[in-house]
Amino acid sequence: MSSSIILITGGNTGIGYETVKALYASSQPYTILMGSRSLEKAETAIAKLKSEISESKNEVVALQVDIEDDESIEKAFEEVKGKWGRVDGLVNNAGLWTFVFPFLFFAGLECMLIPTRCRV
């Protein structure tokens, strides 16, 4: 059975980290892409994860992505497309510190990380 590819933005801390941890511990097959603004922080979080859960059939991979930077998003998109060709699930957990974001949420727009478009 092939593994599902799951991208979790903001995966190196907090709720994102706990989501990565739950998937990593799962008996279901996953390739977990831990999205983080800092590749170094993601790699540190992965080392911590592997010390907390010593055995897993799943794979976790660091992915540098800053959801406030279009160039970073495009680079992450190309990396995912080139290595896996798809994303089966997206947990868009990363914080977005802009004035517009709450209004987009409450206006009922569906925002997508990859590609970076919002649609009604």
Instruction: Output the tens digit of pLDDT for each of the chain's 120 residues.
Output: 689 999 999 999 999 999 999 999 999 999 999 999 999 999 999 999 999 999 999 999 999 999 888 899 899 999 999 999 999 999 988 765 444 444 444 444 444 333 344 333
Q: Domain extents for the chain?
A: 4-95
Round to whole Å and give the CA distance between 89 and 28.
Answer: 14
* Predicted TM-score of the model (pTM): 0.79
CATH 3.50.50.60 fits 4-95, yes or no: no
Round to whole Å and give the CA distance between 101 and 40.
Answer: 27
Strands 110-112 and 117-119: antiparallel
